[in-house]
Structure 1
Amino acid sequence: MYVDPPAPRPRELGEMPPATATGPLDEQPRVWEFNPEYQRLVTAWQEALPLLDKLSKALDKPYAKARSPQTWDAPVGSRYVEDIGQWRTRLGLYRQAVLTAISDEAADTPRWIPAPAGAPHAFS
């Protein structure tokens, strides 16, 4: 069993953007927007997690039944149990890889970005 990495946090009700900018324009008012790329990662996590859970549950039921001594009375039973066990291990590794990729990208993606509206433009 693996521990899932931290999920990207969706925008919360009442969450406000950063108060000030960092850099040479600290005193300039800024307009911020919730980063659409970060929101894409939140959505990807929310869509992937139930599907991965559904796949895990789909393998858990036959695995539990196959391990029961009443189910198999032949050597093929142990091979079947081993096969399902390997599938469950691969699925766990796949789950870890997918969720870690989303989590790592979310950690490197800013939640808030300066909005293009209201920004000074040359020659406007």
Structure 2
Amino acid sequence: MYADPPAPRPKGRDEAPPASPGGPDGLQHPWRFNPDYQKLVEAWDEVLPQLETLRTALDKAYSLARSPQTWDAPVGERYVEDIREWRRRLALYRHSILTSISDAAGDMPRWVRTTDVPQPFW
């Protein structure tokens, strides 16, 4: 139905921070991987397997419900429709959750400068 948005990229083993000549105060400040960005990477890695488990369970239930051996009565079609709707809603939910994580990661810098100044004054 929907393609997953791009996942936040975890810090590579050999990835180095960006090179900068100096800050606005003329001093060289060290960089560190943004801890808030790392939380988004971890959230993606945590939520994706859970969503896959739910999707797999609903797909299995849907295939069993569609089987002619499962239902003898016409009422079975109602259950098939219900499961189809649950699958659609889960796909929308998955898309919205993964998109929100991806959008937040896209708006956030991967590296931040470390200073002794509190963040609001950067």
TM over 0.5: yes
Q: How does 1:1-124 map to 2 (within 5 A)?
A: 1-20=1-20, 24=24, 28-116=27-115
For each residue in 1:2-47, what CA deviation from the matched residue of structure 2 results, as whole angstroms up to 9, or x when unmatched?
Answer: 100000000000100010168745x632200000000000000000
SS in 1 for 2:28: coil
SS in 2 for 1:15: coil
Cα distance in structure 2, aligned partners of 1:11 and 1:65 = 42
RMSD: 1.7
Structure 2 unaligned blocks of 5 or more: 118-122
TM norm structure 1: 0.88
- Count of matched residue pairs: 117
Equivalent pair of 1:21/1:30 in contact (CA under 8 Å): no
Cα distance in structure 1, aligned partners of 2:104 and 2:21 = 23
Cα distance in structure 2, aligned partners of 1:81 and 1:21 = 63
Cα distance in structure 1, aligned partners of 2:43 and 2:15 = 21
Cα distance in structure 1, aligned partners of 2:94 and 2:21 = 37
Structure 1 unaligned blocks of 5 or more: 120-124
- Seq. identity, %: 60
